Chain A
Amino acid sequence: MTQTVERAARKAPTGPAILEVRNGGKSFGAVHVLRGVAFEARAGDVTALVGDNGAGKSTLIKCIAGIYPFDSGELFLEGERVHITDPAHANSLGIEVVYQDLALCDNMDVVHNLFLGRELRKHGFLDEAAMERQTGEVLAALSVRSVKSIRQHVSSLSGGQRQTVAIARAVLWNSKVVILDEPTAALGVAQTEQVLNLVRRLADKGLAVVLISHNMNEVFEVADSIAVLYLGQMAGQIRAADSNRGEVVELITTGTRGNGGSILNGRADVGSATVSDGGSKA
């Protein structure tokens, strides 16, 4: 509720760039979805990634997460150049993605969902006690008190609680970068607030958080840095405190800042946007 005020207090970048993309490019056939994209996420920052539909947000995220590789450009993790081959590799490097459609198993409880695919074992068998203990600890560390019992099935949780579980899963593994794909898209007002608070706390614990969002209120509420993609190019990455809503909206819609973008130019760009949009979905 009062977060908007406190965001303005954050001016300087809080930590070193953990994740950095330089000159990232990606094409699908003849369609250039990403062209020369530069992007960075700092420890302790919430970096919002915004842009209109088809601007390339999802593609950028998927390239970072290892779902498919960049065609060109470089990816740096804590200053070292890395070449991510697949999602498991990205996970092992400390990059976790929380997808929009959640990817939780409804028929399993919170503990099993948190450890899905990475179960703790003792003598080759599941170590339920250790997993349950760690689940309690990670939820407590995230100050999550909304989940009543960690042994209840995920199907009985509300949307916000499910999102919380998905986020907790991402931070369970000492991850460095957590990428959230529209975590509040399907949530009500109170639950959105809950999740945004959680997002803020992640960054305050020193993680680099990347938040994809369409909601400007939300972006200015939690983000320290805002990266705007426009037709596959980085229109600009700016500090939230130095900017305002009008500027960001203009960057999203015209790709330019302030006075420059004439209406005619904007129209022309929108036309080409439709073309690349259709192509990128193919």
Chain B
Amino acid sequence: MSNVSTTPPLTDPHASGEQPPMRGGLKDGFRPVSENFHAYVSRMRGGDMGALPAVMGLLVLSVVFTVARPSAFSSALNLANLFQQGAVVVTIAMGLVFVLLLGEIDLSAGFASGVCGSVLAVLLTDAGAPWFVAVAAAIATGLLIGLLIGLLVARIGIPSFVVTLGAFLAFQGVVLLVIGSRGNISITSPVIIAIQNKNVPPLLGWILAITAVATYAIGTMANWAARRRHGLATKPLVVALLKPIAVTVVTLALVFVLNLERSFNVRIASLRGVPIVVPIICLIALVLGFVLRRTAFGRHIYAVGGNAEAARRAGINVARIRIACFVICSGLAAIAGIFAASRATSVDPNAGGQNILLYAVGAAVIGGTSLFGGKGRIVDALIGGAVVAVIDNGMGLLGYSAGVKYLVTGAVLIVAAGVDALSRRRSVASGGA
């Protein structure tokens, strides 16, 4: 090719050469099933396994515990129990996803939830405030805590590990000072108690569930059709349908089981329906997931976690993103604190302590959120939280002591973090940095 013209044509043969033409771009947008499968396999080989290990783990654990304790583990009563036990951990974990996406950590989220729970309890009992005022104040406290931590990390530049370790101790002190002398404060507000102890009426449960899955399925398919129409790369219809169908089946099955009568004695009290906390968590998860996936703010969180310098050069206000993530994390901790207070119907000096934070970090990491930043989704917190709750619940039913439960959960967390670290090494090896 003796290309001696002064202006090489735009379709320069140099550039094309050995590589296949660009795909996923303009015309040949339709990809066959087999190719999708191969892409998925190669992504997994490259270390990006998504939620697969956690989903598999959840299935295996459920089968094992069901076989070991068929009458107890898989009962409707225990299923409802699982959701109520897992609610606090999952809520904190959803907040931690934001902080972990930045490559930071918030060790104080557990006791932050305790502080907010204390604020709620004190306002409800001592000040006699209505429930919505107490809830608003608890959440505002959480947001304020997040703002403080965020400022210290993003503006002063103290490593988040140190800031939140300090806050961990300080908040424990706050809870002790507020509640300590009285032993505990019991919650009497029927609204607060209902969150974790009452159920959605079965019919309403069905309506909510069907509306939710229908919206999800229609939204997904509309998106697929729109991409098709614009000639963009789309999955084959079969693959695109797989996820909505799976989500629909699982959701409706859960609602069905939870709508069964699970009271020991129906004549005293009927116990049916989805616990009220479940739709609340689903709503929170939907909103947060939407923020991460569909807004510029969410994109910027990933950018800051992936390469903060690149984000800065692209004109993103990195400090503001960092602060916002800490605010979101502590805000969710506050909501978790309300859930915890509702479940215990009281707030004690140890609120937000014990294993809550580690379970929450474990939930996010087990679900597939990276501790190195830049990788993670809200659904990770839900799936990982389910794994943690199932281990805790199932081993309890099998009669293991708290010591063994901690040991196993700790080991699972370390294994998940190990998978994360190895998959990161793998993705470095398979290309790029």
The answer to whether A2 touches B3, judged by C-beta atoms less than 8 angstroms apart, is yes
The answer to whether B19 touches A146, judged by C-beta atoms less than 8 angstroms apart, is yes
Min CB gap B372→A, angstroms: 9
The answer to whether B22 touches A150, judged by C-beta atoms less than 8 angstroms apart, is yes
Indicate which residue in B14, B48, B227, B299 contacts A116 across the interface (CB closer than 8 Å).
B299
The answer to whether A103 touches B11, judged by C-beta atoms less than 8 angstroms apart, is no
Indicate which residue in B4, B46, B296 contacts A119 across the interface (CB closer than 8 Å).
B296
Stretch in contact with the other chain, from B23-31, B127-135, B279-287 = B23-31
The answer to whether B313 touches A145, judged by C-beta atoms less than 8 angstroms apart, is no
Indicate which residue in B14, B26, B431 contacts A140 across the interface (CB closer than 8 Å).
B26
Residues of A within 8 A of B399 (CB): none
Q: Bound complex: CA of A164 vs CA of B65, how far in Å?
A: 53
Stretch in contact with the other chain, from B52-60, B270-278, B303-311 = B303-311
Q: Which of A103, A135, A193, A200 has the most CB of B within 10 A?
A: A103
Residues of A within 8 A of B22 (CB): 136, 139-140, 144-150
Q: Bound complex: CA of A150 vs CA of B28, how far in Å?
A: 13
Q: Bound complex: CA of A135 vs CA of B26, how far in Å?
A: 10
Residues of B within 8 A of A132 (CB): 24, 232-233
Please give the number of chain B residues whose Cβ is less than 8 angstroms from any Cβ of chain A in the complex.
56
Residues of B within 8 A of A282 (CB): none
A117 at the interface (CB under 8 A from B): yes
Chain B 1-24 near chain A by CB (<8 Å), digits 1 or 0: 111111110111011110111111
Mark out the residues of chain B between 291 and 326 whose CB falls within 8 Å of any chain A CB in the assembled complex: 294-296, 299-300, 302-303, 305-307, 309-311, 313-316
With known contacts A118-B314, A126-B295, A194-B14, A156–B431 Cβ distance under 8 A = yes
Q: Bound complex: CA of A102 vs CA of B432, how far in Å?
A: 12
The answer to whether A116 touches B314, judged by C-beta atoms less than 8 angstroms apart, is yes
Indicate which residue in B7, B11, B311 contacts A117 across the interface (CB closer than 8 Å).
B311
Total A-B Cβ pairs within 8 A: 172
The answer to whether A150 touches B24, judged by C-beta atoms less than 8 angstroms apart, is yes
Indicate which residue in B16, B23, B46, B295 contacts A156 across the interface (CB closer than 8 Å).
B46
Min CB gap B325→A, angstroms: 15
Residues of A within 8 A of B17 (CB): 146, 190, 194
With known contacts A144-B22, A157-B432, A194-B14, A103–B6 Cβ distance under 8 A = no
Indicate which residue in B11, B15, B23, B226 contacts A129 across the interface (CB closer than 8 Å).
B226
Please give the number of chain A residues whose Cβ is less than 8 angstroms from any Cβ of chain B in the complex.
63
A42 at the interface (CB under 8 A from B): no
Q: Bound complex: CA of A141 vs CA of B11, how far in Å?
A: 9
The answer to whether B12 touches A87, judged by C-beta atoms less than 8 angstroms apart, is no
Q: Bound complex: CA of A136 vs CA of B26, how far in Å?
A: 6
Nearest-neighbor residue (CB-CB) of B26 within chain A: A136
The answer to whether B374 touches A145, judged by C-beta atoms less than 8 angstroms apart, is no
With known contacts A107-B375, A133-B232, A143-B16, A156–B432 Cβ distance under 8 A = yes
Nearest-neighbor residue (CB-CB) of B373 within chain A: A107
Min CB gap B350→A, angstroms: 38
Min CB gap B432→A, angstroms: 3
Indicate which residue in A2, A157, A162, A197 contacts B2 across the interface (CB closer than 8 Å).
A2
The answer to whether B310 touches A105, judged by C-beta atoms less than 8 angstroms apart, is yes
B346 at the interface (CB under 8 A from A): no
Q: Bound complex: CA of A145 vs CA of B24, how far in Å?
A: 12
Q: Bound complex: CA of A112 vs CA of B375, how far in Å?
A: 14
A245 at the interface (CB under 8 A from B): no
Q: Bound complex: CA of A140 vs CA of B12, how far in Å?
A: 11
The answer to whether A87 touches B315, judged by C-beta atoms less than 8 angstroms apart, is yes
Min CB gap B377→A, angstroms: 12
Indicate which residue in A87, A150, A155, A204 contacts B313 across the interface (CB closer than 8 Å).
A87
Min CB gap B237→A, angstroms: 18
The answer to whether A197 touches B12, judged by C-beta atoms less than 8 angstroms apart, is yes
The answer to whether B432 touches A155, judged by C-beta atoms less than 8 angstroms apart, is yes
A106 at the interface (CB under 8 A from B): yes
Q: Bound complex: CA of A198 vs CA of B1, how far in Å?
A: 17
A185 at the interface (CB under 8 A from B): no
Nearest-neighbor residue (CB-CB) of A44 within chain B: B7
Residues of A within 8 A of B231 (CB): 133
The answer to whether B430 touches A116, judged by C-beta atoms less than 8 angstroms apart, is no
Residues of A within 8 A of B233 (CB): 132, 149, 151
Question: 11 additional contacts, CB 8 Å, given A140-B25, A145-B15, A148-B24?
Answer: A2-B1, A6-B5, A9-B6, A108-B306, A126-B295, A136-B26, A143-B16, A145-B22, A146-B15, A149-B233, A201-B12
Q: What are 7 A-B interface contacts by the 8 Å CB criterion?
A: A2-B1, A87-B315, A116-B311, A141-B10, A144-B22, A148-B23, A155-B431
